[in-house]
């Protein structure tokens, strides 16, 4: 139960920080229609999940649920997606890596499109 509470708190903090950083970055660094705020948040999240995962491999405790699953998950799921892809790359699962990337992007776009169409009609 404690781990769920850590995930809940971390996820909320990560989501709020994602909103603040993304909005601020987009206002300050608006490059045409490029979603710079989301891009910056995703790159920061990838860096953070790398640092935190490296640390918590050495020190296994339940705070990993607060920081990795909760905070990074609330901040950006792209960080988890990237960490999973790196793991597939490092383990030599190249075909699964390519399938995962392609399906995630293509099916994700399709799901958004279908969701928009469903509500629009």
Residue 18 in any domain: the answer is yes
Largest CA distance in the chain: 52
Residue 120 in any domain: the answer is no
pLDDT digits (tens, 9 = 90+) for 60-116: 789 999 999 999 999 988 888 998 999 999 999 999 999 999 999 999 899 888 888
Domains identified in the chain, total number: 1
Residue 102 in any domain: the answer is no
pLDDT digits (tens, 9 = 90+) for 101-116: 999 999 989 988 888 8
Q: For residues 47-62, b (16+ Cβ closer than 10 Å) or e, as one string?
A: ebbeebbeebeeeeee
Percentage above 90 pLDDT, the chain: 61
* More confident call, 30 vs 24: 24
Residue 63 in any domain: the answer is yes
Domain coverage including residue 13: 2-76
> Exposed/middle/buried for 14, CB within 10 Å: 0-12, 13-18, 19+?
buried
Residue 82 CB neighbour total at 10 angstroms: 18
The binding site consists of 73, 76
On whether the CB atoms of residues 73 and 10 are closer than 8 A, the answer is yes
The binding site for Na(+) consists of 73, 76
């Amino acid at each position: 139960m404690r781990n769920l509470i850590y995930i809940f708190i971390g996820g909320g903090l990560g989501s709020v920080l994602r909103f603040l950083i993304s909005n601020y970055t987009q206002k300050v660094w608006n490059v045409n229609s490029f979603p710079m705020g989301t891009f910056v948040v995703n790159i920061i999240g990838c860096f953070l999940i790398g640092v935190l995962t490296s640390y918590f491999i050495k020190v296994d405790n339940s705070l990993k649920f607060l920081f990795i699953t909760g905070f990074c998950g609330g901040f950006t799921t792209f960080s988890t997606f990237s960490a999973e892809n790196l793991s597939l790359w490092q383990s030599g699962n190249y075909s699964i890596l390519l399938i995962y990337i392609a399906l995630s992007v293509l099916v994700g776009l399709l799901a958004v499109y279908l969701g928009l169409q469903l509500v629009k009609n």
